[in-house]
Amino acid sequence: MNDQLILAIDQGTTNTKAIALDASGKIVAQASVPMLVSYPQPGWAEQSAYEIWHSVQQVIAQTLTKLSGPIAAVAISNQRETIVVWDAVTGKPVGPAIVWQCRRSADRCAALRAAGHTDLVVARTGLTLDPLFPAAKLAWLLDQTPEARAKAERGDLRAGTVDSWLLWNLTGGAVHATDHSNASRTQLYDTLTLAWSEELGKLFGVPVGILPQVLPSDSRFGEVAAGVSALPAGIPIHALLGDSHAALYGHGVRASGMAKATYGTGSSLMTLTGKRAVSQHGLSGTIAWSTRDGGIVYALEGNISVSGQAAAFMAELLGLEGAEQLSELAGSVGDTNGCVFVPALVGLGAPYWRADARGVITGLSLGTKRAHLARAALEAIAFQVADVLNAMMADLGSPVSMLSVDGGASRNDSLMQLQADLTNCTLIRGAAAEVSAIGAAMLAASGAGWGEIPRLGEIHEFHPRMPAHDRAVAMDRWRRALSQALHDTSGSTELQP
């Protein structure tokens, strides 16, 4: 086992990555390719399912060229809530992969809310009725794609989140499966009975027979087929895990009392709850992961639709080359000169769940400079995370004193210090920015009988140092800006989820 490696694939919204991890926890090789997201209409977001699979083939090939040791197992972490539908015989997608950010199903969700179905959906799944989740998007695909619904009713189609699509392709179409973490995000899976819900399928208009088999996250899901990638045939696929869940596992969180925040295109905050939880403060009850020996592990999560993407958006708006230039510009000023940016660019997720919200910039004056707007974009990330963490502590009924962070924006020291200040919480940042792939590899190693792989690298801590009065003033300014973003045609500015 000493020379064997785990190959972990992390298929994200903006990048597909692969790492090879040895038994000591050391990353011995890695690769990354960018992903394109298309926005065909305002509020819509989609990707090519072909390109998702092709990107995985690319990073596998690139990683293997850097290796000398054998691959013992494959692990997958994936962008969640992105849905793919494909032909059961040919394996060809019947439409685009509808991305988690997409709001095309907003009207369907609104109609279900108006009909009084919210309580049922929350009770069964822990998830609120919002376009983020795949059920309504899957129904849209079946209705809008010619002959798709008839084919689905005949059992001629397969549907699943990105992990299922990748597993199908890696096994040459032999396996149609997913794990509990990804199933729990579909809004079609009853997280209490641990089964696809016929009741929810009928409610959303989705025949549940096209959905994958649900297995523990550390299962042996199948073997790599010959000729589908640069991998030799027969290598076991030993873990599937949603990316946010994989990050939580990679941070070493195994019990309640600690939370993690992943800063990606959007952001996810998650904490373990010990038992199944239904939020009263705008968060999602979910399954963190499952194991063959330990059963189901539950969690609370808050999903922020636009966080790191807010920096990319503002960088483009200001004519900058990217987030690094934005960070440099933001660092040239000590404050925003009163500006607040609310990046409700695809509505607002947790804890507000307002698909109709739109982005705003408040506090503009003749003294406003580009640097103030740049700083406001970074602060917007920290404000949103603070809102979710406050909701999380309200649900838990106890404080969260430590927040473990990962993702690209977590490398920004100024942002992380601001985050510690606004949450009044100690932040812990590990050496690796991308923890999802590491977490999936750790779970696969455990499932393959390797035991626990240690976390390596230096740990950096950020401690809160902002006076309580200044924190209150900053949060009040943010909430006043939020009121404008949430102002609907009825004149409501209610901030409670």
Q: Tell me: the pLDDT tens digits for 442-476?
A: 999 988 888 888 776 778 999 999 999 999 999 99
- Per CATH, 5-245 and 252-434+467-497 having the same topology is answered yes
pLDDT tier at 392, thresholds 50, 70, 90: very high
Which CATH fold would you assign to the domain 252-434+467-497? Nucleotidyltransferase; domain 5 (3.30.420)
pLDDT of 491 higher than 60? no
Tell which CATH classification among 3.40.50.12240, 3.40.50.280, 3.40.50.720, 3.30.420.40 matches the domain 5-245.
3.30.420.40
Quick: pLDDT tens for 202-227: 999 999 999 999 999 999 999 999 99
Q: In this model, does residue 497 exceed pLDDT 50?
A: no
What are the extents of the domains in the chain? 5-245, 252-434+467-497
Contact 439, 249 (CB under 8 A): yes
Distance of CA 57 to CAs 29, 54, 78, Å? 16, 5, 15
Mean pLDDT (whole number) for 300-317 = 93
**pLDDT above 60 for 489:** no
Q: 265 falls in which pLDDT band (50, 70, 90)?
A: confident
Say what the pLDDT of residue 174 is: 97
Q: Residue 349: which residues within 8 A CB-CB, separation 6 or more? A: 130, 132, 266, 302, 303, 304, 305
DSSP class per residue in 169-186: HHTTT---EEEHHHHTTS
Look over the chain and give the mean of its residue pLDDT values, rounded to a whole number: 93
pLDDT at 433: 67
Please compute the mean of the pLDDT values over residues 55-71 and round it to a whole number: 94
Provide the pLDDT for residue 431.
78
Closest CA to 260 of 104, 35, 439, 480: 439
More confident: 482 or 355: 482
Three-class SS of 345-391: ECEECCCCCECCCCCEEECCCCCCCHHHHHHHHHHHHHHHHHHHHHH
